[in-house]
Structures are given as C-alpha cells and as structure tokens.
C-alpha cells in the first residue's frame, strides 16, 4: 500500500444553529455546499494546485436530504473551481461521515487509484433541521425491525441521541457533576485557544451576502461556570443527567482536508501535516452508541501494534460529555492528552464536518506540542465508532 499524507486542512467557523430562530445562525443564508465550495477554492489557491490535478472529492454529510443532497458529491465540484475530471461521492456515516470521507480518500491513494484527493464534510443545522419534523413529513423514516431476527432494540432510545447518552451515563456510572465539569473544561480550553489565536490556523473567514466576515466560533462560552451548568434542566428526560450544557449544540459549518500520495507530494512541493496510518470503525448496540469509540480505538491500536499510552494526543468527539469520559475510563487515557483545546461541547458539532475537524485539529495540535502519534475518534448514531491514527514522523 502506498503511503498517504495529510497536507492541508481548513474549516469554516462553526456557528450557532437554530431552525426556528434563523437570525441566530450567521450561516443561515449559506447552504452547506456553498461553504464547502469556498473551502475547496481556497485550498486550490493556497496549495498552488491546478483544478485539473485533483482526482477525487469525498463529502461527509449526516443528513443528505433537501438542499444537502449533492447529486453524488457533484454540486460542490460544479460550484467550485475543481475540474470536471474530479470524481466525487457523498458519504453518510452520521457523526463519522467526515472521517469516513478522509478514509475513502486515504484508501484511494493507498491503492494507487489517485494521487490527490480532497475530503470534506458539511452540515447546516439551521437550513436542514434535526428532530421529529423530518420524520413527521417523511423526509426520514424508521424501518420496522423484524421480531424474529433474534435481536431486540429500544428504537425510541436509538433514534434520540440524548437518550442513548443517558443510558450510557447510567450504565457507566458517570454522573451529572462529572459531565458538567468536563463541559466546563471544554469551554475554558476552547476560549483560551481562541484568545491565543490558535484557531486562526484552521479557520477560513467566510464572507456573507451582506459583506460581513465570519471567522470566530459562536458556541464557545468562556465565561460559563459549574454553577451555571448545574442550573440547566435535563434536556432529554425529566430525571436524566444529560443537559444542554453537557451536550454539543446544534451547529452549522464545513471542513476540508487535502490528501496526497508521495509522488504528488514531491511534484507539488507541498509540506505534509501528517502521515495517515489507518482508520477503523466498529459497531456497538445502538442504544449505547457512545460506546463506539472504545472498540474502534482498540482495533486501530491493535492493527498498528501500539498501546494507548504511546499516543501523544487524542481528539475524541464531544457529542456529549459522557462519550469522551467513557473512553477515558475504558481506555485508561490521561485526560490532559484529550481534546487539549476543547471540543464539540464548546466549538460545536456540524455533524458531517466534525470528523474532518477532529483529524485536522489533531495534526495541528501534535505539531504545536511536538508529539508524534495522534488518534481522532467519534461515536456514531445508530451504534458505531470510528477512529483514525496519524503520525508526524514521515
């Protein structure tokens, strides 16, 4: 298999999404594919790539419905400067969609099928609202689960990610105060990184129709406190532990990674951010989808012949506080190596873009801290986990 390099990564700022109060979302007027097209054109320009050089585009999107349907990934190709020769596709693996897009690009390059591939992801959660309305109008459906297939699922829980987080918290014995403390940590670290300008390296300012430029994540609350978080009512169950404060907020945004083969790296003169060593996904019981990070990471490390204590930094998606906390407990991780500049609890979680952000942010953080190995991982609605290993020694 040919070596694969991550050579570039950018994202938009992540905005606060609200389907019923569109004025709260700075990207309410911009469809997600437009955001990705702007990232693509910027990547072509910054990397001095001719549009005809890019072989492939993979797009992660959790809700590829209505305007987020991309005609097999073609719309961002048509909207950007990419040449018509660029093959494309759209991938739905829910919260793992962006990382799955990187994996597809990685495998294409590793097999010799292409030399330069773009892997992106997007979600505009104001323009494509989540929740019961999509089921009520038939945009999304739930199939009947056969009673005689030897399986039994609590589908009411499965279809509500907050309830799966409640169940995981109860089974793992992870309480409200610990989840709130982790959320506070995320906001404080993200606020400090923002104030130090660390996110400037990865955010491309986006110009709105009125000429204003959006360049700052809107969900970070550096002034929150444990007391304020404790005041929030449970969001999914009257007697539950999961609140809006220890859950990731609705978010809009897009992200893009550039991957190259060794020959493309030499021919383009690009400098690699990281070498992509592998990616693994694993399934778990859907009611406990937050567990998925653990078996995915375990197999990834086993495949690479590495132990958890050999990994310098971790980016574990903060869909809910309980997800990284469960992984920290089960994998025996040092918390100070996990999400060192905060995560989705503070930055936001535009579902299809998050996996790309996790990998790109991880590469930047490893370079900043002088680390070598990093793992990015996410749980996935429906009962899965996905994890990717990168290396800064080439």
- The HSE-up count of residue 170 (CA atoms within 13 Å, CB side) is 13
| Annotated catalytic residue within 61, 86, 114, 379 | 379
Gap between the Cα atoms of 231 and 233, Å rounded: 6
Tokens of 329: 């407990």
Q: Is 86 a catalytic site residue?
A: no
Task: Tell me how far apart the alpha carbons of residues 208 and 313 are, in angstroms, rounded to a whole number.
Answer: 35
| Residue 95 among the catalytic residues | yes
Residue 349 annotated in active site:
yes
Question: Of 34, 187, 341, 349, which residue is the catalytic one?
Answer: 349
Which residue among the candidates 61, 86, 95, 114 is catalytic per the annotation?
95
Q: What is the DSSP letter of 144?
A: P
| E-assigned strand segments in the chain | 4-11, 15-16, 56-60, 87-91, 116-124, 206-207, 213-214, 251-261, 274-283, 313-316, 373-380, 384-391
As given in the structure block, the two tokens for residue 141 are: 């459906």
Q: CA 341: distance to chain centroid? A: 15
Where does 173-320 have alpha helices with state H?
A: 176-195, 226-231, 262-268, 293-304
Short-list 358, 370, 394, CA closest to 266: 394
Instruction: Supply the residues annotated as catalytic.
Output: 95, 349, 379
């Amino acid at each position: 298999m040919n070596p694969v390099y991550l050579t570039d990564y950018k994202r938009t700022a992540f905005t606060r999404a609200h389907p019923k109060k569109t004025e709260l979302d700075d990207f309410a007027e911009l469809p997600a594919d437009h955001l990705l097209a702007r990232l693509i054109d910027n990547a072509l320009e910054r990397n001095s790539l001719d549009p005809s050089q890019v072989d492939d585009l993979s797009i992660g999107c959790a809700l590829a419905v209505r305007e987020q349907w991309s005609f097999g990934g073609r719309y961002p190709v048509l909207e950007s400067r990419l040449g018509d020769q660029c093959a494309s596709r759209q991938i739905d693996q829910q919260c793992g969609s962006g990382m799955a897009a990187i994996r597809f690009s990685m495998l294409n390059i590793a097999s010799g099928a292409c030399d330069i591939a773009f892997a992106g992801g997007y979600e505009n959660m104001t323009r494509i609202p989540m929740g019961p309305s999509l089921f009520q109008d038939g945009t999304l459906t739930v199939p009947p689960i056969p009673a005689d297939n030897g399986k039994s699922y609590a589908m009411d829980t499965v279809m509500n990610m907050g309830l799966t987080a409640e169940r995981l918290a109860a089974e793992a014995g992870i309480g409200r105060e610990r989840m709130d403390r982790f959320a506070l940590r995320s906001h404080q670290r993200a606020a400090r990184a923002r104030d130090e300008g660390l996110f400037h390296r990865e955010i491309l300012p986006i110009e709105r129709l009125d000429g204003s430029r959006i360049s700052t994540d809107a969900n970070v609350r550096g002034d929150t406190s444990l007391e304020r978080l404790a005041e929030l009512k449970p969001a999914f169950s009257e007697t539950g532990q999961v609140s809006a404060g220890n859950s990731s907020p609705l978010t809009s945004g897009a992200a893009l990674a550039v991957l190259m083969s060794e020959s493309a790296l030499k021919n383009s003169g690009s400098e690699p951010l990281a070498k992509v060593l592998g990616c693994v996904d694993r399934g778990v019981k859907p009611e406990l989808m937050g567990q998925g990070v653990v078996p995915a990471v375990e197999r990834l490390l086993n495949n690479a012949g590495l132990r958890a204590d050999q990994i310098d930094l971790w980016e574990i998606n903060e869909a809910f506080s309980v997800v990284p906390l469960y992984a920290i407990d089960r994998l025996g991780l040092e918390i100070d190596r996990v999400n060192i500049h905060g995560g989705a609890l503070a930055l936001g979680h535009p579902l299809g873009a998050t996996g790309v952000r996790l990998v790109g942010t991880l590469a930047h953080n490893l370079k900043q801290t002088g680390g070598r190995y990093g793992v990015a991982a996410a749980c996935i609605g429906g009962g899965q986990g996905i994890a990717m290993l990168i290396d800064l020694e080439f």
